[in-house]
């Protein structure tokens, strides 16, 4: 049987929530949450951690980071990368092996900035070719998928059609190239049907049911008081569960 690779988040709780070792390759995983909850932090952490060497059970890959909001902060990447680099370098036992440095880690995160949905669609259309030329890429992060479709969309039918197309393209990419696709998504308020007895307002992942149905793994990130939680709301084979995690200067942890 083919070995299933996963990308660690550095939180055992979160890795367990995702099936043991982190975000799975070959599939789409969606993290949703309100602004400021830490989605970008997780996206950056995964972009660094995808580079962990194979001898440490890592995927030794590269990342594509698609920034639709302008929230990628290079200084934060350096801080998180330093945390990971220390762990990797401490584990070197072979004297011929070179320690990992920050320039190398940064050079393996391919950063793209898109400013509207047209740029995002155009970029995704060229992504197949990019992945063929960069076979070490094992992760694509889109931060966030919702933003370009919330700003300037009045035609909801077109929006649904484009989102379905994107979800299908990403699913194909994940499977063809055996990479993890991580979608960071916002939350939106949904109202139950008046008179149905469930007319309460609830927070649900943005972009609607038809898009969400194409994402096999869905996790909601939220906070209560000073504590951060991740809640698995959807998975093909894992149980619904909630865990606690932290964000520190060095990145994500238990
Ligand atoms: P939007 O992009 O606005 O949707 O937010 P987001 O969900 O992507 O949030 P983001 O990843 O920007 O995370 C912000 C959170 O990370 C805040 O709660 C900060 O407290 C936390 N954070 C960011 N940098 C640090 C840091 O250096 N140390 C610690 N401890 N926390 C940090």
Question: Looking at 32-36, 112-116, 186-190, 230-234, which range is the least confident one?
Answer: 186-190
Q: How far is the CA of 77 from the centre of ligand 1 (A)?
A: 12
User: Within a 13 Å sphere around the CA of 57, how many CA atoms are in the beta-carbon half?
Assistant: 9
Instruction: Tell whether the torsion through CA atoms of 147, 250, 235 and 202 is positive or negative.
Output: negative
pLDDT tens, 196-245?
666 677 777 877 777 777 788 999 999 998 899 999 998 888 889 999 99
Q: How far is the CA of 133 from the centre of ligand 1 (A)?
A: 33
Say how far apart CA 32 and CA 161 lie, in whole Å. 21
Say how far apart CA 251 and CA 127 lie, in whole Å. 28
Q: How far is the CA of 38 from the centre of ligand 1 (A)?
A: 4
Share of the chain above pLDDT 90, in %: 66
* pLDDT beyond 60 at 62: yes
User: Structure pTM?
Assistant: 0.93
Closest atom of ligand 1 relative to the 41 alpha carbon: 11
Residue-wise DSSP of the chain: -PPPPEE--S-HHHHHHTTSSSEETTSEEEEE--TTSSHHHHHHHHHHHTT--GGGT----EEEEEESSS---HHHHHHHHHHHHHHHHHT---TTSPPP-HHHHHHTEEEEE--SHHHHHHHHHHHHHHHHH-TTEEEEEEETSSHHHHHS---HHHHHHHHHHHHHHHHHHHHHHT-EEEEEE-EEEEEPPTTTT---EEEEETT-HHHHTT-SEEEEEEEETTEEEEEEEE-SSS--EEEEEEEETTEEE-
Closest atom of ligand 1 relative to the 186 alpha carbon: 4
pLDDT tens, 5-26?
899 999 999 999 999 899 999 9
Ligand 1 pocket, residues with Cβ under 6 angstroms: 33, 35-41, 69, 71, 76, 247-249
Closest atom of ligand 1 relative to the 248 alpha carbon: 30
Q: How far is the CA of 42 from the centre of ligand 1 (A)?
A: 9
What residue owns the CA closest to ligand 1's atom 25? 249
pLDDT of residue 211: 78
* pLDDT beyond 80 at 246: yes
Which of 37, 219, 254 to mutate to test ligand 1, by most ligand atoms within 8 A of the CB atom? 37
Q: How far is the CA of 143 from the centre of ligand 1 (A)?
A: 13
Closest atom of ligand 1 relative to the 40 alpha carbon: 11
Q: Choose between 195 and 26: higher pLDDT.
A: 26
pLDDT tens, 47-57?
999 999 998 88
pLDDT of residue 1: 44
pLDDT tens, 77-94?
999 999 999 988 998 888
């Amino acid at each position: 049987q083919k070995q299933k690779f996963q990308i660690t988040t550095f939180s055992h709780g979160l890795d367990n929530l995702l099936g043991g070792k982190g975000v799975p390759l070959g599939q789409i995983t969606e993290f949703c949450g309100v602004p400021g909850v830490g989605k970008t932090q997780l996206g950056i952490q995964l972009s660094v951690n995808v580079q962990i060497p194979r001898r440490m059970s890592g995927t030794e890959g590269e990342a594509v980071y698609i920034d639709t909001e302008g929230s990628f902060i290079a200084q934060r990447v350096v801080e998180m990368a330093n945390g990971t680099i220390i762990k990797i370098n401490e584990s070197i036992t072979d004297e011929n092996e070179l320690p990992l440095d920050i320039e190398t880690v940064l050079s393996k995160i391919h950063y793209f900035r898109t400013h509207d949905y047209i740029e995002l669609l155009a970029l995704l259309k060229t992504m197949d070719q990019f992945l063929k030329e960069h076979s070490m890429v094992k992760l694509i992060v889109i931060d966030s998928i919702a933003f370009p479709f919330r700003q300037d969309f009045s035609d909801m039918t077109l929006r649904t059609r484009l989102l379905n197309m994107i979800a299908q393209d990403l699913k194909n990419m994940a499977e063809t190239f055996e990479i993890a696709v991580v979608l960071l998504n916002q939350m939106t308020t949904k109202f139950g049907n008046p008179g149905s007895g469930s007319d309460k307002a609830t927070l649900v992942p943005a972009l609607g049911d038809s898009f969400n149905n194409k994402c096999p793994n869905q996790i909601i990130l939220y906070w209560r008081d000073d504590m951060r939680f991740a809640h698995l709301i959807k998975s093909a084979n894992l149980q619904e569960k909630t865990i606690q995690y932290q964000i520190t200067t060095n990145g994500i942890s238990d």
